[in-house]
Chains A and B, each alone.
Chain A
Amino acid sequence: MEQNFLYNWFGDGVITYALLVTIPLVFLLIYALVAILGELKIASWVQDRLGPMRTGWKGVLQPLAEVIKLLQKEDIVPDAANKPLFNLAPYVMFTGAFGAFAAMPFAFNFVPAHLNVGLFYIFAIGAFSVIGIVMGGWASNNKYSLLGAMRGVSQMVSYEIPIALAILAIAALAGSLDLQEIINQQGGGFWNWNIFGGYGSFWKILVIPFTLSLFVIHFVGGLAETNRIPFDIPEGESEIVAGYHTEYSGMKFAMFFFAEYANMFTVSAIIAICFLGGWQSPFGDFLNQPAMQAFWFISKACFLVFVQIWLRWTLPRLRVDQLMYVSWKVMTPLAFVCFVAIAVWSMLR
């Protein structure tokens, strides 16, 4: 088993633990700023306009300006709200998104906590944000918030099932729940990635349609998990104003906002790990040093984040019943079929 490079440098002490927590958090903060700028700029690119241009060179400081604006805003708590829950909800939401980073393998020698059930852990902690949504929606004492929370819970619970099936199939394919193990098996070039059936002989082409469709299922489910268009009905701004975070302002709203972007990365990273080889270089051993591995991992995840943003500015929104239809009547049966096929394949392989 590979060793975390921080242990080699600083030993098994306080500094190591502090760094293990800080590095992902700093990464997440920088990522969120870049992602917000990316959202603004991709939106403007899609929509044939310039986007923010005033703050800094071509508006690159816009996310910072927005963060400062949100920090300065008055933090309003509605009179009739349930104050403890109302104040807690954004942090619960953010915990769900950030907790996943504990087991996130950035490179073969850097994973904050190397769990042998990492896949299971990430999936479980990802479901935490549902609690934040229902807390915030209920505690706001607002009908729109309540509707948004109910929609959010039903949507996330529904979409966890096809995602769980996709993850199960990957676990069956890899024979492990250890994220590093899953990634290690996908080494040696992009044709060994799980999206292309994992490692194996020529006959793995039989399983490629199933892994490909599982990839799509997982990605679509991930869109629903992060409440992005076309699945942004918990906060669908044209229907229920802003859904569960209607009543939030200032820093608490920023936390929800931040959690959404963190969630986008988490979902994309899981997909990258499960299907796109995690930190593995697409060219086998070429460019596969630890620093490059981190680069590959972040690039793959960010590419998926880009696709999410791209879809958001292209597609309209689904309706609640259509959303449920897609989950229960299309994606779940399909995921089941794929799971069975992959399970059979991995027994025969």
Chain B
Amino acid sequence: MTANEIYEKLKSEFGDEIISLTEDAANEAFIVVKPQRIVEICLVLRDDPNFKFDYMANLTGMDYPNNLTVVYHLYSIPLNHRIVLKVELNKENPSVESVEKVWKTANWHEREAYDMFGIIFENHPFLVRILTPYDWEGHPLRKDYKEPETYHGVKIAY
């Protein structure tokens, strides 16, 4: 299926939840959706015989000037097509439902997104930092991140 077909089909099923489709030469096609019903959308994408997005290639966070975005790269092994989903979250309270129960691989990807961007994934089974130490402060990949001066009394910058 092309991105446009996927968009139309999702739009007919979820209506206002699906915000827009961007498909131009500079970008890979991506669909922006609202965060509220993301798990239902993902379940449809995974289980619908037309979609069969059984393979989550990647999940990551993005720090844009006005919002934090979660990007889902989905792929279907049986049907060999791809789609990118984006969920935009406000910076004050960046939280979205976890898709861990849809794709298990999201577990560690979401932990990393939490670690790096501070995005809260609700109902995640074990949302703790993964790459930085468990007691690290701040979320390093945010654009406004300032590295701390010391960590456990050890000077960081040199």
Q: Do A's and B's CB atoms come within 8 Å in the complex?
A: no
